Amino acid sequence: MLTAHTEVDRIDHLGEIALIKKIGAWLGPVNPPAPAGIGDDCAVLEPPVGAKQIITTDTVSYGQHFDDSVSAEDAGAKLIKRNLSDIAAMGGTPGPAVLALLCGPDVSIKWMAGFFNGVRLECQRHNVQLVGGDVSSLPEGNFSAVLTLTGSAVAPKLRHGAQLGDYIYVTGTLGGSILKKHYAFAPRLAEGQWLATHSGCHAMMDLTDGLAKDLQSILHVDFSASLNLAAIPISNAARACAQKSGRAVLDHAFCDGEDYELLFTLDADENLKTFEADWAKHFPDVELSCIGHIQPAAPIGRLIDAETNTALPWTHGFEHLRSS
Amino acid sequence: MLTAHTEVDRIDHLGEIALIKKIGAWLGPVNPPAPAGIGDDCAVLEPPVGAKQIITTDTVSYGQHFDDSVSAEDAGAKLIKRNLSDIAAMGGTPGPAVLALLCGPDVSIKWMAGFFNGVRLECQRHNVQLVGGDVSSLPEGNFSAVLTLTGSAVAPKLRHGAQLGDYIYVTGTLGGSILKKHYAFAPRLAEGQWLATHSGCHAMMDLTDGLAKDLQSILHVDFSASLNLAAIPISNAARACAQKSGRAVLDHAFCDGEDYELLFTLDADENLKTFEADWAKHFPDVELSCIGHIQPAAPIGRLIDAETNTALPWTHGFEHLRSS
């Protein structure tokens, strides 16, 4: 549990100075000494050589991005992986990071140790060094952590590069991530890096707010997407969710957030068979689905059912701070 | 007020997508287009040329770093200035930044516009571009913003460079910042940059948690600080606070947080008269005080009254998450 049940397990029993020392110990090899690491007013970075530098920031908050059904380790790992997924979406390689911790006085020290164990393991897996941070207080019962992750990419793949006629691809399967995948996913770093070397890949992003919303981010206003619904890769979790919710399985695949899969477009002149065979050779365990193509804007809508030529009913994904 | 009093002024009436659009408009020239700015999974940075790259992260939370007595504009400016003060402490020049926003659904849109107005003005003043960000939800009544600021410094001044015999200096006056200075301060960027060009300046940091606590960060375990209490630059605000609190004026000067002044050490062989005259020429409006020097560790304590050779009673400053 996030909150402490004994006085001595409360973070405020420790105080900021002792907590920062503990965090250093919990992070172990992921926490280099200052000035390349925690301990000075700023950390000194070594920018990438022969590549562009990229940067992203992402948050996990208790009650929003995880709850008591998620272990402290998995919550910590999720913070790192959410950011890694953004690096993957640019075709990048992760670099140093800084972490801001915002927590209530009643957060459990034991829980925090687990959280940082998850952070450390995920950082070690991907060679991320935590070079700086900040600790501050929130009201009781609250916990948020914000990671800012830098990285490098020889040729970063942007969202805004899709061209008319491009094929639209997604990795993995979609929907129902709330059941487990929202924290138990592997950021598609190797896949993103491989795609970044393909000149035929015109645009790329990671799916965090659902295909329905995210696909619109790579669609120029002059474009619409013609989608083959039979090709949408539906996860087992989406089917399980649909049974409970009574909503259509495709509704879950289009609108559930936190898939952390890659969405990209491929030049119309590419040989799909060759491309897909090449993919399968490199990533035999990762599904790849061509779900449609980009066509001129249509008055009926931005996402079009290719079979019936009607607008799809799913146009919204997950949106923070939305009451209606 | 932070929280909305009408339905239409609530952030969740707007939703994340519309809010991000509004933030872009509020930021105006401080918000460049993607990929150098907000709008892609990562932002692409141009690392500094001919200087080291530095990075820091700092937070402002409602109820912790500001309350309803601080205007939205001042709260926004404070977020930027807290980070600028860290860059100043390294003798650096600020560069691009990313911002993570964590807010309750009931935060006022009008208040948020004011907050971002403060952010924009302070960024413009110091040539900071906001190149990326993240928006997520917190429970009602909560608001936090985390900025990660990069910068450059030809020769970053570190905390850990102080030498035996060094003189100890502070800029400005200390204590009582809670009355106003905690948000109405000017980060000592020009001063820090000037000091960074002085080889005689061995160590530097900014005072955020009070002199008593922060001075210990630049004291090697083999050192103590011999302090001339008559030389401590006491602010009028510290005197005002002491009248109300009944605590000693020096207690406020040593232990109150958020001075945002520079603390640095100067080689024992420096000519102080020349140095101080040079300072006065460059920064005629900024007080500079030599408050003591670094001597070998003493068994009686780390901070010593030079006159009586006794340990000072003030050893702690502001500490987050400390119950006792």
pLDDT in tens, B49-80: 999 999 999 999 999 999 999 999 999 999 99
Per-residue pLDDT averaged across B244-271, rounded?
A: 97
What sign results for the dihedral spanned by CA atoms B120, B209, B252, B158? negative
3-state secondary structure chain B: CCECCCHHHEHHHHCHHHHHHHHHHHHHHHCCCCCCCECECCEEECCCCCCEEEEEEEEEEECCCECCCCCHHHHHHHHHHHHHHHHHHCCCEEEEEEEEEEECCCEEHHHHHHHHHHHHHHHHHCCCCEEEEEEEECCCCCEEEEEEEEEEECCCCCCCCCCCCCEEEEECCECCHHHCCCCCCCCCHHHHHHHHCCCCEEEEEEECCCHHHHHHHCCCCCEEEEECHHHCCECHHHHHHHHHHCCCHHHHHHHCCCCCEEEEEECCCCCHHHHHHHHHHHCCCCCEEEEEEEEECECCECEEECCCCEECCCCCCCCCCCCC
Mean pLDDT of chain A, nearest integer: 95
Per-residue pLDDT averaged across B257-274, rounded?
A: 97
> Which of B17, B42, B52 is facing A151, going by the closest CB pair?
B42
B205 contacts A61? CB cut-off 8 A? no
Whether residue A324 is predicted with pLDDT greater than 60 in this model: the reply is: no
Prediction ipTM score:
0.95
B40 contacts A90? CB cut-off 8 A? yes
Report the candidate in B81, B321, B261, B294 with the shortest Cα–Cα distance to residue A143.
B321
Q: Which residue of A has its CA nearest to B92?
A: A42
User: Which domains are delineated in chain B?
Assistant: 7-153 (3.30.1330.10), 167-311 (3.90.650.10)
Check residue A322 and give its pLDDT: 81
Burial status of residue A217 (CB atoms within 10 A of its CB: 0-12, 13-18, 19 or more): middle
B41 contacts A53? CB cut-off 8 A? no
| Total CB pairs under 8 A between chain A and B | 238
Minimal C-alpha gap between B44 and chain A (Å) = 4
Contacts A86 to B, Cβ<8 Å: 41-42
User: In a 3-state reduction of DSSP, which class is residue A193?
Assistant: helix
Contacts B90 to A, Cβ<8 Å: 40-42
Other CB atoms within 10 Å distance of the CB of residue A281: 8
Among A238-242, A297-301, A312-316, name the most confident range.
Answer: A238-242
Give the confidence band of B35 by pLDDT, cuts at 50, 70, 90: confident
Contacts A55 to B, Cβ<8 Å: 42-43, 45, 96, 98, 131-132, 148, 150
Top residue of B57, B65, B193, B264 to mutate, by most chain A CBs within 10 Å, is B57
A61 contacts B100? CB cut-off 8 A? no
Check residue B324 and give its pLDDT: 57
d(CA B273, CA B235): 24
Check residue B36 and give its pLDDT: 78
d(CA A226, CA B290): 72
Q: Are strands A93-103 and A130-137 parallel, antiparallel or unpaired?
A: parallel
Per-residue pLDDT averaged across A88-106, rounded?
A: 97
Whether residue B212 is predicted with pLDDT greater than 80 in this model: the reply is: yes
Check residue A323 and give its pLDDT: 75
Whether residue B316 is predicted with pLDDT greater than 90 in this model: the reply is: no
DSSP string, A103-145: E-TTBBHHHHHHHHHHHHHHHHHTT--EEEEEEEE-STT-EEE
B89 contacts A57? CB cut-off 8 A? no
Check residue B100 and give its pLDDT: 98
Order across the sheet with B43-45: list the strands: A130-137, A93-103, A143-153, A52-61, B43-45
Instruction: For B2-19, write each residue's pLDDT tens digit.
Output: 999 999 999 999 998 899
B159 contacts A41? CB cut-off 8 A? yes
Contacts A46 to B, Cβ<8 Å: 53
Check residue B23 and give its pLDDT: 95
Give the confidence band of B113 by pLDDT, cuts at 50, 70, 90: very high
A87 contacts B321? CB cut-off 8 A? no
Contacts B146 to A, Cβ<8 Å: 57, 59, 100, 102, 134, 146
Contacts B219 to A, Cβ<8 Å: none
Residue A29 CB contacts under 8 Å (≥ 6 apart), including other chains: A120, A124
Per-residue pLDDT averaged across A34-62, rounded?
A: 92
Whether residue B309 is predicted with pLDDT greater than 80 in this model: the reply is: yes
Helix axes B72-89, B189-196, angle to 10 degrees: 0
Contacts B92 to A, Cβ<8 Å: 42
> Which of B45, B98, B159 is facing A53, going by the closest CB pair?
B45
Contacts B93 to A, Cβ<8 Å: none
Instruction: For A119-134, write each residue's pLDDT tens digit.
Output: 999 999 999 999 999 9
Instruction: For B81-91, write each residue's pLDDT tens digit.
Output: 999 999 999 99
B319 contacts A135? CB cut-off 8 A? no
B137 contacts A61? CB cut-off 8 A? yes
- Residue A101 · residue A135 · CB < 8 Å: yes
Instruction: For B172-200, write each residue's pLDDT tens digit.
Output: 999 999 999 999 999 999 999 999 999 99
DSSP string, A144-191: EEEEEEEEEESSPPPSTT--TT-EEEEES-BS-GGGTTTTS----HHH
Q: Which residue of B has its CA nearest to A150?
A: B42
B56 contacts A42? CB cut-off 8 A? yes
B14 contacts A57? CB cut-off 8 A? no
> Which of B99, B135, B320 is facing A321, going by the closest CB pair?
B135
Contacts A203 to B, Cβ<8 Å: none
Percent of chain A with pLDDT over 70: 100
> Which of A13, A16, A54 is facing B45, going by the closest CB pair?
A54
Report the candidate in A227, A197, A214 with the shortest Cα–Cα distance to residue A85.
A214
